[in-house]
Amino acid sequence: MHIFKNLKIALIILILTSGAHIETKATEECFEGVSRSIFKFNMAFDDLILEPIANGYNKLPEPIKNGTSNFTSNIAVLLSIPNSLLQGNISQVGHSTGSFIVNSTVGILGIFNPAEKIGLKPYKEDVGQTLGAYGVGPGCYLVLPILGPSTARDSFGLVADTFIDPFAHVTIRENELFGISGNDLDYFSVKGTTAIDFRADNSKNFDSLEKNSIDLYSSLKSVYLQDRENKIRNSIEDQDEWGNLDN
């Protein structure tokens, strides 16, 4: 009951700090000074820990990298199923569920991705996206330690994810589901590996952005917010903002 009370308070704060429009473009900062300090810490963390690990990971043979990436992606699909359901997107529920079942069985615990070959798409949906789909705006922008860019809505979503994600249910909540259970270490190992896989995949993109930005903090903010808008819409929508420059 205590957890639900806290969630209720967090939800009220979220509604107060976010507009009810997903079209919000120039997302205001919650506390820019603090966020910039956390950003510096995150960059140092990346330089000292994440990037060297990602570089090492990139040197692994392709089959190992692909297998790891497939395995973590397959587990991440579990979070999409309840979220797609909450969004009323039955087609996505079917794709995600089918993808998880096929890859977990035929694909040997998700190491291989035969689902893709039969046209099943493993959609990635989270609570932040579900709230966005319901019209909850991003609220103010902030940077979280280690986790990076976020908004009021998405930070709330991160916490809420752990309540509806079946994988979190059997690991950090230590419940049993279909005879399977785990612990905190399983959960954080998978999340950590997902982060390393993402960082390794985007190594060149990060380097390029860092090299070509005058204010990297703002560039990453823009990239994050655009990405979230696209994920909420489930499409890459062309946004014509060129206005009177067309004349």
Give 23 or 246: the residue with its C-beta nearer to another protein: 246
150: enclosing H helix or E strand: strand 148-151
Shortest spacing between CB 222 and another protein, in angstroms: 4
For residue 141, what is the enclosing H or E element? strand 141-144
* Binding positions for another protein, rule: CB under 8 A: 26, 62, 201, 204, 207-208, 211-215, 217-219, 221-223, 226-227, 230, 236, 238-242, 245-246
Q: What angle do CA 95, 99, 100 make, to 5 degrees?
A: 120
Please provide the size of the chain in residues.
247
Q: How far is the CB of 34 from another protein (least distance, A)?
A: 15
Which two tokens mark 52?
């060297």
How near is the Cβ of 205 to another protein at its closest, in Å? 8
User: What is the spatial distance between Cα 224 and Cα 25, in angstroms, rounded to a whole number?
Assistant: 12
CB-nearer residue toward another protein: 95 or 221: 221
Please say which residue, 60 or 159, places its beta carbon nearer to another protein.
Answer: 60
Cα separation of 171 and 244, whole Å? 54
Nearest to another protein of 23, 240 (CB atom): 240
Smallest separation (angstroms) from another protein to the CB of 198? 11
* Closest approach of another protein to the CB of residue 244, in Å: 9
Contacts of 68 (CB under 8 A, 6+ apart): 193, 197
Nearer to another protein among residue 54 and residue 170 (C-beta): 54
